[in-house]
């Protein structure tokens, strides 16, 4: 039997650290359920000390998940570890992941600590975390740029202190595959107690090498990979779960190991993460991009029809592309609606929430013939507004067309009162955004506007992402509707509501 490669998913923690990708507690639980259905081994649910909301989300994931381990991140500080242990209390199997930077530049410039003090801090943190659980992971942040001898010393010391997983992050995405693979081989050979821990890797994609580096490490004995759905993550992202999983599954002849991932659920998980975060998947993205299994050139199509293996190394259905997705329609009843939500991992908190969601479903089914899982996910996301809705849409009317100056008339509740505004713009979306700003005057700068059709067909819902920036803070807003102007206004208001809530979160790596 092939060796097991453990999959540690950090979409909810490192993925959420990408600017604008913040998720609500309910959204995190929904993604965690999708990860559990995939059979991810470890779900890193967040950084509990970051804020009360982060703590609540890690706790909620710990309560909801039974098959995967649930992990909380903590700097090598007792207050962080206490908070992580508290959040993980309800977990059936919990892991504390503690870390400290080990590269000369991080120790000198960021931590202002000597290597000896860092080593001592790491050992203390691991020992302290072991009081709460047997499952403690230690990460040497910026290991890719750390001194190899120092890395060997610290890994030996933390394993002796009780770390059962030791992680080698390429925090800034500086490594290249041959060298990174050798680093793992060197550590496994030189650390005297290496056999008492699982070696893990955590690669960032700044040079586009995160997956290649992770796989090089696997070839040299790493048996845990840290990754995210769609490669979401800080800056250029983390290694993409779907790419690593399919590489080791397709090329077992090379890697000699496999994961326990249920690959037919990959596409659904990818869509869920992209719907919730508003980070669209590029069409040519491996495994989960819309073109990943599409054959356009006639010559390829001909080959595939004769024998699919001429041009296909994986089957689209093995990653979930051809799953039966048409689920509900106008005549579907409440029970069918509830059952399908349960199948895609959504449980609404009570009957009132179910009734409200069912009303929205009926409205949508009036406008749209077939309702797909993606429509249901968008519908549920919309039903859970920001905790504080400072500004709310009452009504929007727009007009555009040949020979007409596009304009919008909007009514909003803002500051507890209803306001009306009229604006003209380059198009109806521009006019709607100007009308909103005419009321709220947020001073935010529009950094990104993207529309994506959730499903196919001209009656598909448009899913809009709006990214706003104000005083260095970036937020993403989302909106979905069969009318894309309305979806755009919803997305803009969603972003504003996020922006109006002060950000008091602590970033783990600052
Ligand atoms: O990139 C990194 O080093 C991290 C650590 C906290 C594991 O995310
Ligand atoms: Zn990271």
d(CA 92, CA 164): 18
Q: State whether 271 and 395 are in the same domain.
A: no
Give the domain-ending residue among 237, 259, 277: 277
pTM of this structure: 0.91
pLDDT digits (tens, 9 = 90+) for 253-296: 999 999 999 999 999 999 999 988 989 899 899 999 988 988 65
Å from CA of 76 to ligand 1 middle: 13
265 and 396 share a domain? no
Distance CA 108, CA 75 (A): 17
Pairing state between β 94-101 and 69-75: parallel
Distance from the first to the final alpha carbon of the chain: 43
323 pLDDT higher than 60: no
Count helices and strands in the chain by DSSP H and E runs: 17, 18
> DSSP letter at 110?
I
For residues 109 and 96, give the distance between their C-alpha atoms in angstroms, rounded to a whole number.
26
Ligand with minimal distance to 200 CA = 1
**d(Cα 168, Cα 187) in Å, to the nearest integer?**
10
C-alpha distance from residue 345 to each of 37, 338, 381 (Å) = 8, 11, 13
Q: What's the gap in Å between 171 CA and the centre of ligand 1?
A: 6
Q: Best substitution site from 144, 167, 171 to test ligand 1's pocket, by max atoms within 8 Å of Cβ?
A: 171
Are 368 and 375 in contact by the 8 Å Cβ rule? The answer is yes
Q: Which of 222, 243, 277 is the last residue of a domain?
A: 277
Based on the domain organization, do 395 and 268 belong to the same domain? no
Helix (H, G, I), strand (E, B) or coil at 299: helix
Which ligand 1 atom is at minimum distance from the Cα of 101? Answer: 3
What would the mean pLDDT of 444-462 be, rounded to a whole number?
87
Strand order in the sheet with 391-399: 391-399, 407-414, 417-424
CA of 381 to the centre of ligand 1 (A): 29
In a domain, 317, yes or no: no
Cα 84 to averaged position of ligand 2 atoms, centre (Å): 18
Ligand nearest to the CA of 44: 1
**Residue 303 has what pLDDT?**
67
Distance 4 CA to ligand 1 centre (A): 23
Q: How far is the CA of 426 from the centre of ligand 1 (A)?
A: 43
Closest residue by Cα to atom 2, ligand 1, is 171
Q: Tell me the two tokens of residue 46.
A: 């967040």
Longest dimension (CA), the chain: 78
Domain boundary among 226, 257, 277: 277
Domain that residue 117 falls in:
6-277
pLDDT at 131 over 70: yes
Ligand 1 centroid, distance to 10 Cα (angstroms): 10
In a domain, 509, yes or no: no
- Ligand 1 pocket, CB under 6 A: 14, 99, 139, 141, 169, 171, 202, 204, 508
Q: Are 9 and 224 in contact (CB under 8 A)?
A: no
**Which CATH number is 400's domain given?**
3.30.160.270
Does 29 reside within a domain?
Answer: yes
> How many CB atoms within 10 Å of residue 405?
11
Structural domains counted in the chain: 2
* 266 lies in the same domain as 401: no
98-117 burial, b at 16+ Cβ within 10 Å, e below that, comes to bbbbbbeebbeeebebebee
* Ligand 1 atom at minimum distance from 204 CA: 1
Indicate the top mutation candidate among 76, 102, 139, 175 to test ligand 1's pocket, ranked by most ligand atoms within 8 A of CB: 139
Q: What is the CATH number of the domain that holds 31?
A: 3.20.20.70
400 and 273 both lie in a single domain: no
Residue 359 lies in a domain: no
Over residues 396-402, mean pLDDT = 96
CA distance 113 to 469: 34
* 314 domain-assigned: no
Q: What are phi and psi of 294, to 5 degrees?
A: -90, 135
Cβ of 301: how many Cβ atoms within 10 Å?
13
Is 436 inside a domain boundary? yes
How does pLDDT run across 88-115, given as a tens digit for each residue?
999 999 999 999 999 999 999 999 999 9
Residue for token digits 């120790």? 107
Determine which residue's CA is closest to atom 1 belonging to ligand 1: 171
User: Is 373 inside any structural domain?
Assistant: no
Judge whether 501 and 388 are in contact, CB under 8 Å. yes
Q: Are 108 and 231 found together in one domain?
A: yes
H/E stretch holding 46: strand 42-46
Query: Is residue 271 domain-shared with residue 403, that is, in the same domain?
Result: no
- Whether 239 maps to a domain, the answer reads yes
Let me know whether 38 and 169 are in one domain: yes
* Average pLDDT over the chain, rounded to an integer: 93
């Amino acid at each position: 039997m092939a060796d097991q490669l453990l999959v540690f998913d950090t979409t909810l923690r490192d993925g959420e650290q990408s600017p604008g990708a913040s998720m609500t507690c309910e959204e995190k639980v929904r993604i965690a359920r999708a990860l559990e259905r995939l059979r991810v081994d470890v779900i890193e649910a967040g950084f509990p000390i970051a804020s009360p909301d982060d703590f609540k989300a890690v706790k909620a994931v710990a309560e909801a998940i039974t098959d995967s381990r649930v992990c909380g991140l903590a700097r090598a500080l007792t207050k962080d570890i206490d908070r992580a242990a508290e959040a993980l209390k309800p977990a059936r199997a919990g892991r504390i992941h503690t870390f400290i930077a080990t590269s000369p530049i991080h120790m000198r410039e960021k931590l202002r600590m000597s290597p000896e003090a860092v080593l001592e801090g790491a050992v203390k943190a691991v020992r302290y975390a072991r009081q709460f659980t047997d499952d403690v992971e230690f990460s040497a942040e910026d290991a890719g740029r750390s001194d190899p001898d120092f890395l060997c010393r610290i890994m030996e010391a933390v394993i002796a202190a009780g770390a059962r997983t030791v992680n080698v992050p390429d925090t800034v995405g500086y490594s290249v595959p041959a060298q990174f693979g050798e680093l793992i081989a060197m550590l496994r050979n030189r650390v005297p107690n290496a056999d008492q821990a699982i070696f893990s890797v955590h690669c960032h994609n700044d040079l586009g090498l995160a997956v290649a580096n992770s796989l090089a490490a696997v070839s040299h004995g790493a048996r845990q990979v840290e990754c995210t759905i769609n490669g979401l993550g800080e800056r250029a992202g983390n290694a993409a779960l779907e790419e690593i999983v399919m590489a080791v599954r397709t090329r077992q002849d090379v890697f000699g190991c496999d994961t326990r991932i249920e690959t037919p659920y990959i596409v659904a998980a990818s869509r869920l993460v992209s719907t919730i975060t508003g980070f669209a998947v590029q069409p040519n993205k491996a495994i989960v991009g819309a073109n990943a299994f599409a054959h356009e050139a006639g010559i390829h199509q001909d080959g595939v029809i004769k024998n699919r293996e001429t041009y296909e190394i994986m089957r689209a259905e093995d990653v979930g592309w051809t799953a039966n997705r048409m689920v509900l329609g106008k005549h579907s009843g409440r029970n069918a609606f509830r059952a399908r939500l349960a199948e895609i991992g959504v449980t609404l908190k009570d009957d009132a929430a179910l009734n409200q969601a069912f009303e929205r479903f009926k409205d949508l089914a009036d406008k749209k013939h077939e309702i797909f899982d993606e429509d249901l996910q968008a519908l549920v996301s919309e039903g859970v507004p920001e905790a504080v809705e400072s500004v709310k849409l009452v009504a929007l009317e727009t007009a555009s067309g040949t020979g007409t100056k596009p304009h919008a008339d909007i009514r909003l509740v803002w500051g507890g009162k209803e306001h009306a505004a009229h604006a003209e713009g380059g198009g109806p979306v521009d006019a709607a955004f100007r009308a909103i700003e005419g009321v709220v005057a947020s001073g935010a700068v529009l950094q990104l506007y993207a529309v994506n059709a959730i499903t196919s067909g001209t009656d598909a819902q448009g899913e809009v992402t709006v990214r706003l920036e104000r005083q260095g803070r970036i937020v993403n807003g989302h909106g979905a509707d069969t009318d894309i102007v309305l979806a755009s206004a919803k997305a803009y208001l969603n972003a504003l509501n996020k922006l109006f809530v002060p950000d008091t979160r602590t970033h783990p790596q600052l």
